[in-house]
Amino acid sequence: MKTFYYNKTKETLYQVNKQKAERLFNEGKTIHVKQNNANVNSVWIDFVMYKSGEGYTFEKALNTWHYYNPRNELGYYPQFFVRSV
């Protein structure tokens, strides 16, 4: 599991795979999603955060992300991050 230090909020984020992200999302944790080619500490590109209590299912949140975010330069695939595992 990769660990990243996120400078904007001064916290450590852990990269997880899709299955683990879905399990943690269903447990009520906030999932941070970013394009696969984007830098984690980019000034211009921020995470999209989803939490299960906001009326989203994991599939709906992921479909929303896929509709608005994929770009040729930044990547077409999501990376999932959580604050703690």
Q: Where are the domains of the chain?
A: 3-82
Which pLDDT score is estimated for 38? Answer: 80
b/e sequence 9-43, b meaning 16+ C-beta within 10 Å: eeeebbbbeeebbbebbeeebbbbbbbeebebeee
- Give the amino acid at 84: S
pLDDT digits (tens, 9 = 90+) for 22-48: 999 999 899 989 888 787 777 777 788
Q: Please, what is the average pLDDT of the chain?
A: 83
What's the predicted TM-score (pTM) here? 0.82
